[in-house]
Amino acid sequence: MELTTPAVGLVTVCDPWWFVCFPEAVEVDQVIGSRSTTDFGFNVGGGVTFGRFYVEARFHYVFGPEFTTAGGTTVDAKGYYFPVVAGLRF
């Protein structure tokens, strides 16, 4: 995860037809902070079929790290979601 802010940077742009290069101001994202982690998790799910129609649901849970915010509060960064899929079989 990256925390960014809009900024302006200079790049060299070259015109391939006229063989001319010149500096050009472009919008870029300046990275203020970066954090990444690899965590374990689990999922469980199931589904049912009614003729050609089926429904499937799963629960995904990821154990996330704890971190301290700028205000000094400790936050747990765990995540979970519950997707449901429905469709027709051919």
Rg (CA), the chain: 24
Q: What is the pTM of this model?
A: 0.53
**E strands in 1-90:** 2-15, 20-34, 41-50, 53-62, 66-68, 74-76, 79-81, 84-88
Location of structure tokens 């799910």? 45
Q: What does the pLDDT look like over 9-61, one tens digit per residue? A: 777 778 888 888 878 777 778 888 887 888 899 999 999 999 999 999 999 99
SS3 label, residue 69: coil
User: Which tokens go with 90?
Assistant: 């051919």
- Give the Cα separation of 70 and 85 in Å (integer): 39
